[in-house]
Amino acid sequence: MERAHLVSRGQSITIAVPDTGVDPHPDLRKNILPGIDIIPGGDGTGRKDRDSHGTGMAGLIAAHGQSDGTGALGIAPAAKILPIYDSPPNADGDPEALAEGIEFATRKSVDIISISSGGGSSPRLVRAVNTAIASEIVIVAAAGNRPEDIAVAYPASESSVIAVGGVDREGKLASVSVAGPEVDVVAPAVDIYSTSIDGKYRKGTGTSDATAIVAGAAALIRSKYPDMSAREVAHRLTATAVDKGPPGRDDEYGYGVIDIVAALTADVPPLGSETPSATAPVAGGPTATAAPGGTDDGATVRGLVTLGVIVAVGVTWAVIVRRRRRGDDPPPRISR
User: Which residues are designated catalytic?
Assistant: 19, 53, 208
Phi, psi of 164, deg, nearest 5: -115, 125
Reduced to 3 states (helix: H, G, I; strand: E, B; else coil), residue 203 is: strand
> Directed axis angle between helix 207-224 and helix 230-239, to 10°?
110
Contact 54, 15 (CB under 8 A): no
DSSP states along 162-192: EEEEEE-TTSSBPTTB---TT--EEEE-SSE
Nearest to 259 by CA among 268, 271, 250: 268
Distance CA 315, CA 247 (A): 29
Residue 40's Cβ-count burial label (10 Å; 0-12, 13-18, 19+) is exposed
Nearest to 186 by CA among 256, 112, 92: 256
DSSP states along 17-76: EEEB-----TTTGGGBPP-EESSTTS-SSS---SSSHHHHHHHHHH-B--TTS-S-B-SS
Angle, CA of 120, 124 and 129, to the nearest 5°: 75
Distance CA 259, CA 129 (A): 26
